[in-house]
Structure 1
């Protein structure tokens, strides 16, 4: 199995170079302030470790005032050493404040490292992070409903309903059909025969059945027989 080729990370190389320069500047500043031997080498280690501890606390526990405070203190100490060794201070004759700051740094770094390693961040000390805006759930359209909204009728466009058309006048009652005289004579004979047999005058239904005529004609014949 072939081993992967060694790749040089430019960002990592840059970080190593920057760290080495910052480490050397802190050493030179501590040595100029009167810290010689191994003590001068311990100062850059202390500053860098405090910076890393604060950054790790920020990544693991989230933003908090405690972690941000010690991160800024360590960053100012490292950045201040880089600026001070660039010729802004006479390292051969360092000022009293520089000696005071270098002498008090171990106690300050010990306090910060202890709080970052063993202190718990209270809820009220954490920097609030605004929640992401909640998205409204998408409502699927009903396939059975009409997606086109019904237009609202305008008041001006509303017209009065048209009046219903008048119903046609009813046709007058049909007049009685003309009855031939021969049919009337035949009907009279049938009526007389019915009365002589039954003793009662013939009714219209019987007359119509005996003559075989429609109802209207039977009514007309009965009217003439009356």
Structure 2
């Protein structure tokens, strides 16, 4: 299945579907870190991340969260709503980790008193700088009303996923979302939900892209574990 090519990113190809009413996302086997400075191709990664995304977005849809997901096309494609993507990464943090610790100190894995939402500008060249709501307004990226909507929607989606993973004995430390506007101007959760976009831990073990970032081996074994638990969500 293929359509009209629209865009190719580091880990996905986006095509306009044959009917022109949706897009097809093809998940590649590429994995990157350090704003693309580190790059490898890992067998099955596209399949694991696409199916995990499909099942978790379907789960969120059943909870009333509006996502891009329409249907899963095995092994590594998703049919999704057409969105005008907002050039932001929206990070929901439950614990201190990664760049948060580098910026503000603290201990990796330390609880935050409440869920924290951060915006970063999506630019490898600028290393995804942190932005406040005033930045979004002044630079014309997003108005305050929609920024607040995204904060609330991101917290809601992250809490649903945190609850889901906790039922399986996993801790969701943080998660990165991306949002866009659908053709009616509604904010919609897009892009991907997978071990590439979250920190997920269980009994001290890492089940996310930190395995790759830290050169701890091939992360695909752990990605497959996450996919298998997500298969409890029926499509």
On whether the aligned pair clears a TM of 0.5, the verdict is no
Report the structure number with the largest CA radius of gyration.
1
Q: Normalising by the residue count of structure 1, what TM-score does the alignment of the two structures yield?
A: 0.20
Q: Which has the higher strand share?
A: 2
Q: Normalising by the residue count of structure 2, what TM-score does the alignment of the two structures yield?
A: 0.20
Higher relative contact order (Cα pairs below 8 Å, separated by 6+ residues): 2
